[in-house]
Amino acid sequence: MSQKEAIQEKSSHRTQLYIEVPPTCLPIVYSPEYNITFMGLEKLHPFDAGKWGKVIHFLKEEQFIMDGNIVEAREATEEDLLVVHTKRYLNKLKWSLVVATITEIPPLLFLPNFLVQRKVLRPLRTQTGGTIMAGKLAMDRGWAINVGGGFHHCSSDKGGGFCAYADITLAIKFLFDRVEGVSKATIIDLDAHQGNGHERDFLDDRRVYIMDVYNRYIYPGDGYAKRAIKRKVELDWGTEDQEYLQKVELHSEGALNENRPDIIIYNAGTDILDGDPLGGLAISPQGIVKRDEIVFRAARQRGIPILMVTSGGYQKKTARIIADSILNLHRQGLVEGGAAEEAGPSLVPLMMNASVSAAEALSTF
C-alpha cells in the first residue's frame, strides 16, 4: 500500500464520485440535473440557467456525442462537500435568504428552503460533483470537460456571484488526497471576473499555482484574494481579440514553464464575449474558441492533464460557442473521440458562420 493510499484509508470518506468509467465513454461530464428551471425565477439572474443542456444539444446535433458515450454527473453529498466546506457554511445554505443573496435572485428568500434545495442547490451540487468526477477523469485520460461548474467565487466558508459550492477547490483537494502522483496543480482562470473563491482557499498553499486574467474594474475586486495569484493579468474595459489572445498565450506558456503541475484546472468562462452584460470585455466568438485552443495546446504539448469547466457566460449564444470550441479542440487533435473529422486547419470561422442562426433557433430551448 502506498503512503497516499494509507492516508486515504485513514482519513477519506467513501465517495461515489470516483467511479470507474467505461473506455467507450468520452471524458465529458454532464447531467440533465445541471439545468435550473423553477417558475421562471431563474430568469431574474442574467445567467442562462439552461445553457449546459444547450451545449449538449449542439454536440449531439454535430454527432460528436451520444447519450451513451458521455459520463453522467453525480450529486456531491454533504460528506463530499465537507472535504472543503465548513459545516457552518453548509448549514447557512439551509436559509433561503442566504441562497437568494449568493445566487442574486431575491425572490428565492420567500420560498421554503426545501424547494430552494431541490430546484437551485441540487443542480449546483450535481455540477460540483461533475467537476470532482472530471478531475479524476482528466488524470486517467489526459483531459476532461465538465459542461458545467466553474463556481470560482465560492470559497470554503463563503459563496457569492451565483457560486454556492467551491467545485474547483474540491476537485483539487480530492486529487491531492486520493490520486497517486498529484501534488501540484495550476488553475488557469480566464473567466472575465477574478476567481476570488479558489484564491482565498489556496492563499497559503504552495502546491497550487494560480493564473488569473480578468477585467480589473468589475466584481469582485477582492484585494485580499489577489495575494494568491502568481500570474495576474488585469484587463481594461473593452479589451479585444488581438491583445487578449496575445496575453493568454504569453502567460499560459509562461505559467506552465515556470511551474510544471500534475493537473491543470482551466476555468473557461465565456463572459468575456463582446456584449456580455457583466464581463465588460469585447472578445469575439472566434476569439473564445481560439483561446480554448491555446490553453489546451499548451497543456497537451507538455503532457499535462487538463480539466475544463465552463463557468460564467451570460448571453444566449454562449452555449453554441462552448460547443463550437469543443468541436474545434477535436478537429485540432487536442481531444479525442466523437464522429467529427480528423484534425486539420482551424475551422473556427466556418463553425461560427452557422452559429448565430442555430443559437437563435434554440433561444427558447
Question: Half-sphere exposure of residue 276, counting CA atoms within 13 Å on the CB side?
Answer: 30
Q: For residues 169 and 184, is the Cβ–Cβ distance under 8 A?
A: no
Cell numbers 497550487 correspond to 208
Is the distance from CB of 74 to CB of 17 less than 8 angstroms?
yes
- Of the candidates 152, 153, 193, 330, the residue annotated as catalytic is 153
For the question of residue 153 being annotated catalytic, the response is: yes
Residue 134, φ and ψ in degrees, nearest 5: -70, -25
Sole residue written with cell 452555449: 319
Please report the sign of the dihedral spanned by the C-alpha atoms of residue 101, residue 311, residue 62, residue 281. Answer: positive
- CA dist., res. 45 & res. 282, Å (int): 21
Q: Using CB atoms within 10 A of its CB, is residue 181 exposed (0-12), middle (13-18) or buried (19+)?
A: exposed
Can you say how many angstroms the Cα of residue 169 is from the centroid of all Cα atoms in its chain?
A: 11
Backbone phi, then psi, for 210, in 5-degree steps?
-115, 125
Provide the edge-to-edge strand list for the sheet that holds 185-189. Answer: 71-72, 28-30, 143-146, 306-309, 263-267, 185-189, 208-215, 231-235
Cell digits for 123?
443542480
Q: Which three cell numbers stand for residue 361?
A: 433557433
Q: Please check whether residue 90 is in contact with residue 81, taking contact to mean a CB–CB distance below 8 angstroms.
A: yes
Alpha helices in 104-223 (DSSP H): 113-116, 122-141, 167-178, 196-201
CA dihedral 14, 15, 20, 21 (to 10 degrees): 180
Q: What values do phi and psi take at 326, rounded to 5?
A: -65, -40
Catalytic residue positions, numbered: 153
